[in-house]
Chains A and B, each alone.
Chain A
Amino acid sequence: MCLAIPALLVKRLDGDDAIIDLGGVRKTVSVALVPEAAEGDYVIVHVGYAISRLDPDEAARTLALFAAMDASEGAIA
Chain B
Amino acid sequence: MKFVDEFRDGGLARVLAGKIERTVESGRRYNFMEFCGGHTHAISRYGVTDLLPPGVNMVHGPGCPVCVLPIGRIDNAIALALERGVTLCTYADTMRVPASGRSSLTKAKAAGADVRMVYSAADAVRVAHENPTKEVVFFAIGFETTTPPTAIAILAAREQGLGNFSVFCNHVLTPAAIANILESPQVRDIGTVPLDGFVGPAHVSCVIGSAPYEYFAEEYAKPVVIAGFEPLDVMQAVLMLVRQVNEGRHEVENEFARAVTREGNVKAKALVAEVFELRRSFEWRGLGEVPYSALRIKSKYERFDAEKRYAIVYRSVADNKACECGAILRGAKTPRDCKLFGTVCTPETPMGSCMVSSEGACAAWYTYGRFRDREAA
Q: Which residues of A contact B19 (CB under 8 A)?
A: 70, 73
The CA of A42 and the CA of B2, in the complex, are separated in Å by 9
A6 close to B4 (CB less than 8 A)? yes
B181-200 interface mask toward A, CB cutoff 8 Å, 1 = contact, 0 = none?
Answer: 00000000000000000000
Question: Of A6, A8, A62, which is within 8 A of B255 by CB?
Answer: A62
The CA of A2 and the CA of B148, in the complex, are separated in Å by 14
Interface size on A, as a range, is 35 or more
Q: Which residues of A contact B244 (CB under 8 A)?
A: none
Q: What's the least CB distance linking B315 to chain A, in Å?
A: 26
B306 contacts partner chain A, Cβ-Cβ < 8 Å: no
Contacts A6-B3, A47-B91 given; does A52 touch B265 at CB 8 Å: yes
Q: What's the least CB distance linking B62 to chain A, in Å?
A: 11
Q: Which residues of B contact A44 (CB under 8 A)?
A: 203, 206, 259
B307 contacts partner chain A, Cβ-Cβ < 8 Å: no
Per DSSP, chain A at the interface is mixed
Question: Of B4, B6, B37, B233, which is within 8 A of A5 by CB?
Answer: B4
A38 contacts partner chain B, Cβ-Cβ < 8 Å: no
The 18 sampled A-B contact pairs (Cβ below 8 Å) are A1-B63, A1-B64, A1-B146, A1-B201, A1-B204, A4-B229, A22-B1, A33-B268, A46-B146, A47-B119, A48-B149, A51-B145, A51-B207, A54-B3, A58-B257, A61-B257, A66-B16, A67-B15
Give B residues with C-beta under 8 Å from A: 1-4, 6-7, 12, 15-16, 19, 22, 36-39, 63-65, 91, 119-123, 142-146, 148-149, 152, 201-204, 206-207, 228-229, 232-233, 236, 255, 257-260, 265, 267-268, 271
19 further A-B contacts with Cβ under 8 Å, apart from A1-B63, A30-B152, are: A1-B204, A2-B203, A2-B204, A4-B202, A6-B3, A6-B4, A6-B259, A33-B149, A33-B268, A33-B271, A49-B152, A51-B148, A52-B259, A54-B3, A54-B259, A56-B258, A62-B255, A63-B7, A65-B236
